Amino acid sequence: MGKEGNLADAILAILDLSKNISTPDGPVVKVIGLNETIEISESHDIPRRLVEIEALAQEIVPTRYLRNYGTLGASGQIKLLKSVVGVIGVGGLGGIIVRNLARLGVGSLVIVDGDVFSEDNLNRQEFATEKTVGKVKVEVVAEELKQINGAVDVKGFNAQAGEKEFLKILKEADTVVDALDNLPSRFALQRAAVSLNIPVVHGSVAGFVGQVATIFPEDSGYSTIYGDEDKLPEKGVETTLGNLPGVVGTVASLQSVEVIKILTGLGEVIRNKLLFFDLESPIFEIFTH
């Protein structure tokens, strides 16, 4: 039997194995469970992500995405499942971001990081544990993401990438997230994103302070935020102020939401603006370029 026959039979199985449930606010929703999704994927030899997409096309919600549904709807969830997102750096910011995106159901994640976990990562990094210290970050993260959402395709690159590498690694990406810790790599990433015609979601943290912005290919981006690339140090004040876990989590969560908005077209992204906050004060401000 060809793939089309497999898919047609899979859709019949989706319809057969779905069920109606009542949501907390009253409406009845047709859903399909995780075990049923896995069963259909394995018995019909098609990717789980495709099973989920076909279910949503029939207005049947995979139960794991039920709490997304009221905001994203079937069309928004399908867009996420069909999307490819690059995340550069899977440490403090990036670890939380890839976890969020996997739970949301972003279909393909391309993760890039050339480091191993170290003891000073334990204060904030999502996948840093006493057992993962010394292990390659992308390998640990890719394996953990499979446990969070087995329908997500994860491609890991254990590399300290520059502009040329970014162009190759991100050629299929719909957007890319900057979870980097140095300015030269940020500028290199933006140049690659311009060539690939994809937006960059920027975030950075230092002490109690964080900032987030979304940069489209035609935007000035980092030159407006940081100034002339040739006159900048490699790293900022985070080298002395450090990175506090609650602040890192705030920035990472905001970046995750920016990705959702880009991919689904919902809401307004932080474009040609910089969302800045200081949680010590506390202050939240938006600066317009």
Q: For residue 4, what pLDDT is reported?
A: 56
Q: Determine the Cα–Cα distance for residues 166 and 169; give it in Å rounded to an integer.
A: 5
Shared domain check, 178 and 258: yes
Res 239: pLDDT: 66
Asked whether residue 99 falls in the same domain as residue 201, the answer is yes
pLDDT for position 217 = 98
| DSSP 8-state class, residue 214 | E
Residues 72 and 143 in one domain: no
One domain, residues 135 and 232: yes
In a shared domain, residues 42 and 139: no
Number of H-type helices and E-type strands within the chain: 11, 11
Where does a domain end: 29, 44, 77?
A: 77
Q: Residue 259: which domain range? A: 83-288
Same domain, 270 and 188: yes
Strands 19-22 and 175-178: unpaired
> Based on the domain organization, do 131 and 152 belong to the same domain?
yes
Residue 222 belongs to domain with CATH number = 3.40.50.720
Given 58, 77, 96, which residue is the final one in a domain? Answer: 77
Same domain, 158 and 114: yes
Q: Is 179 found in the same domain as 224?
A: yes
> DSSP string covering 165-213, please?
HHHHHTTT-SEEEE--S-HHHHHHHHHHHHHHT--EEEEEEEBTEEEEE
Of 47, 77, 107, at which residue does a domain stop?
77
pLDDT digits (tens, 9 = 90+) for 179-213: 999 999 999 999 999 999 999 999 999 999 999 99
Q: What confidence tens digit (pLDDT) does each residue in 236-246 have?
A: 667 678 889 99
| Residue ranges in the chain whose pLDDT is less than 70 | 1-5, 234-237, 239
Per-residue confidence (pLDDT) for residue 1, from 0 to 100: 45
C-alpha distance from residue 14 to each of 28, 60, 106, 249, 259 (Å): 17, 8, 21, 37, 29
Q: Considering the entire predicted model, what is its pTM?
A: 0.95
